[in-house]
Amino acid sequence: MARVLVLFAHPRPDRSEVNFPLFETAKSVEGVTAVDLYAEYPDFDIDIDGEQARLVSHDIIIFQHPFYWYSAPAIMKEWQDLVLEHGFAYGLHGHALNGKTFLNVISTGAKPNAYSKDGMNHSDIRSLLAPFEKTADLCGMRFLAPFVMFGAGRALEDNRLDVHRNAYDDLLKAMVADRFDLKKAAQAAVLTDVLDDFILKGEAV
Piece of the chain touching ligand FMN by CB under 6 A; list 16-24, 31-39, 54-62, 86-94: 16-24
Cβ of residue 148: shortest distance to ligand FMN, in angstroms? Answer: 10
Cβ of residue 152: shortest distance to ligand FMN, in angstroms? Answer: 4
- Contact flags string 81-110 toward ligand FMN, x per CB under 6 A: --------------------------xxxx
Beta 142-143 vs 60-66: how paired, if at all?
A: unpaired
CB 85 within 8 A of CB 18: no
Alpha carbon separation from 155 to 145, 158, 164 (Å, rounded): 21, 5, 9
Q: Which residues contact 80 (CB under 8 A, 6 or more apart)?
A: 135
Cβ of residue 126: shortest distance to ligand FMN, in angstroms? Answer: 14
Residue from 14, 43, 69, 118 touching ligand FMN (CB under 6 A): that is: 69
Residue from 8, 63, 67, 132 touching ligand FMN (CB under 6 A): that is: 67
176 binds ligand FMN (CB under 6 A): no
- 93's enclosing H/E stretch is none
Cβ of residue 157: shortest distance to ligand FMN, in angstroms? Answer: 13
For residues 56 and 88, what is the distance between their CA atoms, to the nearest angstrom?
Answer: 10
68 binds ligand FMN (CB under 6 A): yes
Where would I find the beta strands (DSSP E) of the chain?
A: 4-8, 32-36, 60-66, 101-107, 142-143, 147-149
